[in-house]
Amino acid sequence: MEIILKQDIPNLGYKNDIIVVKDGYGRNFLIPKGLAIQATESAKKINAENLRQRAHKEEKIRKEAEDFAAKLEGLTLKIGAKTSTKGKVFGSVNNIQIAEAIKKEGFEVDRKNIKLPVEQIKEIGEYTATLKLHREVSVDIKFEVVSE
């Protein structure tokens, strides 16, 4: 079944993408929840016209994301955490602490756009997180977990 997505859905696609999904997933989940519409010929034409009109706006947004990525490029963060004598972190360091550390540097980012190399960081050391600013623009941020 071909559908047109009405909004971004992780691991599936972005808004206005035309994708193929299994019939049951489209008919029983995506369409009733308002996440997608069926891709008929008229819907495809309307979608193409909307994409053409939004292309200029999308280019501006992508350019702003690239400029923001250039500012974040050389950023190195230090995140303090309570640790044991062996270097194990009590609890864990996650994307919330990284978003707060970036905010202290003067940049506003959404924690949902930060992807860590592992789900939870439980040891002192240097790591790299990926910050997704746009569907085509992402930047790697180095951070170090240190003992408080």
Average pLDDT over the chain, rounded to whole?
89
Structural contact between residues 145 and 127, judged by C-beta atoms closer than 8 angstroms = yes
Each domain of the chain, given as residue ranges in start order, spans 2-68, 70-147
> CB within 8 A of 142, min separation 6: which ones?
75, 76, 77, 126, 127, 128
Res. 83: pLDDT tops 90: no
- Beta strand 36-38 with 2-5: parallel, antiparallel or unpaired? antiparallel
pTM score, whole prediction: 0.65
Mean pLDDT of 3-29: 93
66: tokens are 């690239």
Please tell me the distance from the alpha carbon of residue 73 to that of residue 10, in angstroms, as a whole number.
25
> CB within 8 A of 6, min separation 6: which ones?
15, 34, 35, 36, 37
- What CATH code would you report for 2-68? 3.40.5.10
- What CATH code would you report for 70-147? 3.10.430.100
Other Cβ atoms closer than 10 A to 44: 13
